[in-house]
Amino acid sequence: MAHDPESPPNPQTDAVVHFIQQLYLGCPRVIVTPAILVISAIAFVFLLTKGAGISGDNLDIYIEYGANLGALTKDNQWWRLLAAIFLHYGILHLAFNMWALWDAGRLTERLFGHTNFAWIYLFSGLFASLSSLYWNQDDVASVGASGAVFGVFGALIGYLVRQRHTVPELLLKQLLKTALFFTGFALVFGFTVPAIDNAAHVGGLISGLLLGLLLAKPLSRKRPRLVPALLAHAGSVALLVTAITQAPPAYYDYQAQRQAEQVIKRFVQEENQLMNEWRALVEELQSGRLVTEVNIQQQLNRMLDDWSQLQGQTRAAGKIQLKARQRIALLHEYAGFRIDNIHYLNRYIETGDEQQMRYITNNMQNIKRVLDALNKSAGIEP
């Protein structure tokens, strides 16, 4: 559309045009934002090659390559605070975070400059990881750039608030409204969905906002004021160091927990096999196919050895999660009741004492109680 030379000038539009010209003059090209996108995409492809899955279903892969899990991060693996920022649980998680970063990152990078923007992103991501670490108490394997992205939006809000007199009013209202709507909606949504790590979002938003307030400067000024800049950078480093050094130790040992989970898994597998043998033995007794007492007792003694070995494996070594410790204790008790039943049946065969069969019947109530407790601990309704 041709410009009408006789149309009256619009001061607000002219101010916006002038602001944008200054913005691009001070930072003609964005560098950090696309670099973050590329690094995140490479990390996603790398995890795909390791078997993470397009939807991010293989949690073990994420834990192996950098998920922020308190039990490992606090075990002198603090590099996970940084690595987790560039990992994502699936293509949708990656796509949403990178879209949000691209949308807000280009403007924010031009407002603060490459170096300050890079630090805003990294510090917000690290502080978000630490917030997740403190809030989730070692039980959540957190990944994703969302905390850092919230930091970018926080820094943008901080700039608009601090430089509200230098940003054209028309642009100020539009940008502030968009940034506040995104962060507000995302936080509310995060509080309603348990799988979302909103602690990281809040930590990233607050840290980005503080840096934005300290580092914001008019576009006409080439460098930020010295004291706020020193406070922003030195203060954020000091805060990170303090948060890391003062973090409480993990309440469980990751390797011990993994071993405990393997104990539970092996128990379930072997218990299925032993129960099949027990049911087959009972059927043979009822049908009369086992004609000699020797054959019966040989099978019972072999089963007794197998159950005793299985019970002996139910030992929890080291610091493990309370639920796993309780589950192993229940498995130990369950195996004990199965051993008792074998003893009762053996005595019945030797003596013909009907009281032994009543012991088995009563013992089945104990077994049912333990099985109900095991199902409850696993979240299975009776």
Distance from C-alpha of 285 to C-alpha of 305, rounded to nearest angstrom: 20
- How many CA atoms, within 13 angstroms, populate the side-chain half-sphere of residue 74? 23
Q: Which tokens go with 254? A: 């990751």
Q: Which tokens go with 34? A: 């696309």
Q: Name residue, tokens 């916006």.
A: 16
State the catalytic residue, choosing from 142, 146, 207, 236: 146
Q: Which tokens go with 360? A: 């088995």
Helices (H), 167-292: 169-192, 198-215, 226-245, 254-287
CA 270, chain centre distance (Å): 31
Q: Any catalytic annotation for residue 3?
A: no
Contact between residue 307 and residue 245 where contact means Cβ atoms under 8 Å apart: no
Distance from C-alpha of 361 to C-alpha of 242, rounded to nearest angstrom: 61
State the catalytic residue, choosing from 88, 93, 201, 332: 201
Q: In this structure, how many other beta carbons lie within 10 angstroms of the beta carbon of residue 14?
A: 11
Residue 13 burial by CB count (10 A; 0-12/13-18/19+): exposed, middle or buried? Answer: exposed
Distance from C-alpha of 80 to C-alpha of 190, rounded to nearest angstrom: 23
- Residues designated as active site: 146, 201
